[in-house]
Chains A and B, each alone.
Chain A
Amino acid sequence: MSRPAITICVLAALALPAWAGTATAVTADYPWWTWPLSLFFVCFLLGIVAVPAGVGGGVLFVPIVGGFFPFHLDFVRGAGLLVALASALAAGPDLLRNGLANLRLALPLAVLASASSIVGALVGLALPASVVNIALGVTILGIVALMAMAGKSEFPNVPAADSLSAALCMNGVFHDNVSGRDIAWKVHRTPVGLVLFTLIGMLAGMFGLGAGWANVPVLNLVMGAPLKVSAGTSSFILSLVDSSAAWVYLNRGAVLAVIAVPSVVGMMLGAMIGARLLRVLKASVIRRLVISLLLFAGMRAILKGSGIWI
Chain B
Amino acid sequence: MKMTDPVIPYAPPEQQRYASVLSMGTRIGLALLVIGFCSYAFEWIPPLVPHESLATVWNQPLARYLELTGVPTGWGWVNLIDRSDIFNLVGIGILSGVSLLCLAAAAPFYASRGERVYLALCLLEIAVLLLAASGILTSGH
Give the bracket for the number of chain B residues in contact with chain A: 35 or more
Does B122 lie within 8 Å of A82, measured CB to CB?
Answer: no
CA distance A104 to B1 in the complex (A): 22
B121 within 8 A of A: yes
CA distance A256 to B60 in the complex (A): 12
The chain A residue with its CB closest to the CB of B72 is A253
A239 within 8 A of B: yes
Which of B66, B73, B135, B140 is in CB contact (< 8 Å) with A126?
Answer: B140
With contact pairs A107-B122, A253-B66 given, residues A89 and B54 touching in the complex (Cβ less than 8 Å): no
Sample (26) of A-B pairs whose CB atoms are under 8 Å apart? A74-B65, A85-B96, A89-B22, A90-B30, A92-B19, A93-B23, A96-B16, A96-B19, A101-B15, A107-B121, A110-B125, A114-B129, A115-B128, A125-B141, A128-B141, A243-B95, A243-B99, A243-B129, A244-B128, A244-B132, A248-B137, A252-B139, A252-B140, A260-B88, A261-B34, A261-B37
Does B59 lie within 8 Å of A27, measured CB to CB?
Answer: yes
Does A251 lie within 8 Å of B121, measured CB to CB?
Answer: no
* Nearest Cβ on chain B to A30's Cβ, whole angstroms: 8
Does B128 lie within 8 Å of A97, measured CB to CB?
Answer: no
With contact pairs A247-B129, A253-B62 given, residues A27 and B26 touching in the complex (Cβ less than 8 Å): no
A172 within 8 A of B: yes
A166 within 8 A of B: no
Chain B 9-49 interface mask (CB, 8 Å, partner A; 1/0): 01110111011101101100110011011001100000000
